[in-house]
Amino acid sequence: MKSFKKLIAYALTLAITLAYVPATFSYAEGNTTLVATSSANASDDASGDSSSNASENASATTEAASAEASKDAASGDAAKDTASKDASKDASANATGTTETAIVSITFANEGNILVGKDSSKTLLADQSLTVTDADKDGKLTAYDVFAVSDEKFNLGGFKTEFNAQYNSDSIVKVFGVDTSSVSYYINNQMAGGIKDTVKTGDYFYAYILKGWTDKYTFFAPDTASVNVNEAFATTLYGYEFGADWKPVKVTVPNAKLVSVANDGVVSSANAIASTDASGNATISFTEAGTYLLVPVATDDQVLAPSILKVVVKGSEDIAPVPSVKKPGKVTSLKAKVKKNNAKTKKITLSWKKMAEAEYYRVYISKKKSKGFKLAKQVSSNSLTLVKKKGTYYVKVKAYNSTGAGSYSKVLKVKAK
């Protein structure tokens, strides 16, 4: 109220003085702006008119200021109401979160070694399944939730974020129980944009504490294989390098050792199984059955993030035996029934004993007993109906499967009279 009275007094003074001040100026308070102008060429004879006009202007200005102030007050109240509603809405969302979950696969590493949980099972966190819940109750499933849920499930020692004013977002300050911000994480082999990047079922989430700022993220394609003992398979090792604009560029990684990871997560070049060639390709085989986890190790000074190649090698006991298939024998019990079809033709229905080894049969027919046989039809069942002109015919049948053919049946004489 006091501010409003001061504003009215100032407006009156301004209006009275307006005709005598050769200047242009403006005054602003809140959203109310008063603009006053006067002419340097004003005549002294106009002073009476100016005083009268000044009084009218003061009255008009006072009314305008009053209306503007009322408008600002209403606007301010409306803004407060909106802010209050938004705050209540956000508080409600944060209190409930989402009940949805996502099943993702995680791999965590710390300075070149695969992380092992401190849970009772000492879980090796390589291609490990994780059910993600909304840990921070923000209504979304995000990278934050992956870190928070895995930290609790595998007892990793602590996870924490803090607001980073430089990036205007939360940043990791502690992960895997280590106070550090030197952590990088990828979703489906693509660098994450931030801790609030969303995840969904089927995603692959990889995070690692850097050994140095030049660590190169790597990944295999394909990154899984299921083979038999001594069966070779091929894969390619890729990585990301950063250009002048700091955008990641996909490249192959040559001359890297592929090392088998022990249950303690330690990566040692002494356990090398194979190596990539100059083009980043590798052909690998195993002499013993089992499940192998391979990670790349550079042969130069480059530090490679230990990505995972998972290989399941099946031994003879894991391979389902191929049932032996016997060659079909001789077709037996070949018979024929003849019925009238019309004035000129007959229906000849042939049948024979079904054979367990047979995949199909071929029926041959001739007008002569010992020669001139031609294929009438191939069938999978043990019967066939033919329509033939009246006459005498000779028929024989042979069984077949993937191993070959059996013996012909006896030749059957059929009179179609």
Give the tens place of pLDDT for each residue, 107-144: 999 988 999 999 999 999 999 999 999 999 999 999 99
Selected residue with higher pLDDT from 150 and 318: 150
Looking at the fold, whether 172 and 253 belong to one and the same domain comes out as no
Looking at the fold, whether 205 and 107 belong to one and the same domain comes out as yes
Give residue 154's domain range: 102-209
Whether the predicted pLDDT of 27 surpasses 70:
no
Looking at the fold, whether 160 and 240 belong to one and the same domain comes out as no
The whole-angstrom separation of Cα 59 and Cα 39 is 21
Residue 155 burial (CB < 10 Å; 0-12/13-18/19+)?
middle
Instruction: Name the amino acid, one letter, at 31.
Output: N
Q: Does 7 reside within a domain?
A: yes
Q: Does 179 reside within a domain?
A: yes
Least confident of 13-17, 198-202, 215-219, 261-265: 13-17
Q: Does 322 reside within a domain?
A: no
Q: Does 66 reside within a domain?
A: yes
Least confident of 277-281, 341-345, 409-413: 341-345
The alpha-carbon radius of gyration of the chain (Å, integer) is 44
Q: Does 398 reside within a domain?
A: yes
Residue 336 burial (CB < 10 Å; 0-12/13-18/19+)?
middle
Looking at the fold, whether 108 and 154 belong to one and the same domain comes out as yes
| Confidence band, pLDDT 50/70/90 cuts, at residue 318 | low
Q: Supply the pLDDT for residue 320.
A: 60
CB 365 within 8 A of CB 411: no
Boundary residue ending a domain (42, 62, 94)? 94
Q: How far is CA 326 from CA 242, 322, 362, 403, 408, in A?
A: 62, 12, 18, 7, 16
Looking at the fold, whether 342 and 394 belong to one and the same domain comes out as yes
Looking up residue 246, the CATH number of its domain turns out to be 2.60.40
Which H or E run includes 85?
Answer: helix 47-96
Boundary residue ending a domain (94, 128, 158)? 94
Identify whether 248 is preceded by a cis peptide bond (ω within 30 of 0).
no
Looking at the fold, whether 271 and 204 belong to one and the same domain comes out as no
Taking phi first (over 0 means left), then psi (-120 to 50 degrees means alpha), and beta for anything else, what does residue 19 get? alpha
Sign of the alpha-carbon torsion through 174, 102, 221, 245: negative
The DSSP code for 326 is P
Q: Supply the pLDDT for residue 90.
A: 46
The whole-angstrom separation of Cα 349 and Cα 369 is 19
Q: What is the mean pLDDT of residues 85-91?
A: 47
Provide the CB-side half-sphere exposure for 361 (13 A, CA): 28
User: Length of the chain in residues, anyone?
Assistant: 417
| Confidence band, pLDDT 50/70/90 cuts, at residue 323 | low
Boundary residue ending a domain (150, 185, 209)? 209
The whole-angstrom separation of Cα 188 and Cα 217 is 12
Global pTM reads 0.56
| C-alpha torsion 15→17→22→23, nearest 10 | -60
Looking up residue 358, the CATH number of its domain turns out to be 2.60.40.10
Name the residue among 254, 294, 309 with its Cα closest to residue 276. Answer: 254
The whole-angstrom separation of Cα 206 and Cα 193 is 13
Looking up residue 180, the CATH number of its domain turns out to be 2.170.130.30
Looking at the fold, whether 89 and 129 belong to one and the same domain comes out as no
Q: Does 330 reside within a domain?
A: no
Q: What is the mean pLDDT of residues 35-57?
A: 39
Looking at the fold, whether 37 and 61 belong to one and the same domain comes out as yes
Looking at the fold, whether 142 and 229 belong to one and the same domain comes out as no
* Interval 230-282: pLDDT, tens: 999 999 999 988 777 878 889 999 999 999 998 899 988 888 999 999 999 99
Looking at the fold, whether 139 and 198 belong to one and the same domain comes out as yes
Residue % of the chain over a pLDDT of 90: 60
Q: Does 78 reside within a domain?
A: yes
Q: Does 237 reside within a domain?
A: yes
Looking at the fold, whether 232 and 203 belong to one and the same domain comes out as no
Looking at the fold, whether 63 and 116 belong to one and the same domain comes out as no
Number of compact structural domains in the chain: 4
